[in-house]
Amino acid sequence: MNLKTVTILGSCVSRDVFNLRQDRYSVVLNIQRNSIKTLYGNALDFPEEVYNCAGNGWNARMLKYNAQKEIPGILAEKPSDYIVIDLVDDRFNIANFSYNGKNIMMPHYLGFQKFVESLTDGDGNTPFENFKSIPPESIGEDFLNDCIEKAATLLTKIYRQEQIIINEFMLLERYADNDLKLCEYPNRPGIGKMNAHLRTMYEKLEKALPRAHVIKMPQNTLGDPNHLWGLAYSHAEKSLYEYVLSCIDIIIGADHFSTLEKMYMMQSRENLLRLRTIERIENL
pLDDT for the residue 245? 96
The answer to whether the CB of 35 falls within 8 A of the CB of 107 is yes
* pLDDT tens for each residue of 238-275: 999 999 999 999 999 888 889 999 999 999 999 999 99
Instruction: Please give the residue that has the higher pLDDT: either 153 or 78.
Output: 153
Least confident of 30-39, 50-59, 206-215, 238-247: 50-59
pLDDT average, residue stretch 205-217: 98
Beta bridge partners of 9: 31, 85
Say whether pLDDT at 48 is over 80. yes
pLDDT for the residue 283? 81
pLDDT for the residue 1? 60
pLDDT for the residue 281? 87
DSSP state of 257: S
pLDDT for the residue 255? 80
Q: What are phi and psi of 228, to 5 degrees?
A: -55, -35
Say whether pLDDT at 45 is over 90. no
pLDDT for the residue 159? 98
Model-level pTM?
0.95
What's the CA gap between 248 and 167, in Å, rounded?
10
Say whether pLDDT at 29 is over 80. yes
Say whether pLDDT at 102 is over 90. yes
The answer to whether the CB of 198 falls within 8 A of the CB of 87 is yes
If you average pLDDT over every residue of the chain, what do you get? Answer: 94
CA distances 43 to 89, 92, 106, 125, Å, are: 20, 19, 10, 21
